[in-house]
Amino acid sequence: MYLNSKENTMRHINITVISMMSVLLVACGGGGGSSASSTPEPVVAVVDDPVVVVVVEPEPDPNIIYDTTAELVVAKSFLIEQEYDLSISYKNDNNRNVYLSVCTEFSEEESGIKVNYNSCLLRTSIESSFAGKLTVANDKNRLVMAIWYLDDIKNPRFELWENDIDAKGDKKFEVN
């Protein structure tokens, strides 16, 4: 009886140890293979002064095909912005009554510019100059300003603006 109880205890211990090792192996992972599109590691260069360390990050290769979005690498300078601020100004030297529209959807045709006025970000009437800010969706890189002089409503003036994506600083749409 004593020997039988000792064998049962050893059997339980063995089963427990084997179960624990199995759990540890599963939790640690199987050491899966590496993908051909693995992200490059930053290169660390030590300069003469042992205190100064320069980290050089490699540029992402645009031709790599990634298996998952977790592998994507972008430059640190890349910011995903949904919108940008745009300063709008119109200088009304003649102090004419004017109606301004700033719109995102338009086409340039032989007969002139055709504007979808349902796409306007700004609609306002002014008697003097105008200055303000607009928040523009990041996919809108061209805008048109339609300037309607109320004393000559049949001949609107159109001014085009194109976003310079690489420009630093404030974005401005200025019309004189």
pLDDT in tens, 41-73: 655 555 555 666 666 766 767 788 888 888 877
Q: Domain 83-175, what architecture?
A: Sandwich (2.60)
pTM of this structure: 0.55
- Mind giving me the DSSP string for the chain? -HHHHHHHHHHHHHHHHHHHHHHHHHHH----PPPTTPPPPPEEEE-SSTT-EEEEPPPPPTT---SSGGG----TT----SEEEEEEEE--TT---EEEEEES-EEEETTEEEE-GGGEEEEEEESS-EEEEEEEETT--EEEEEEEETTSTTS-EEEEEE--TT--S-EEEEE-
Chain segment 125-141, per-residue pLDDT in tens: 999 899 999 999 988 99
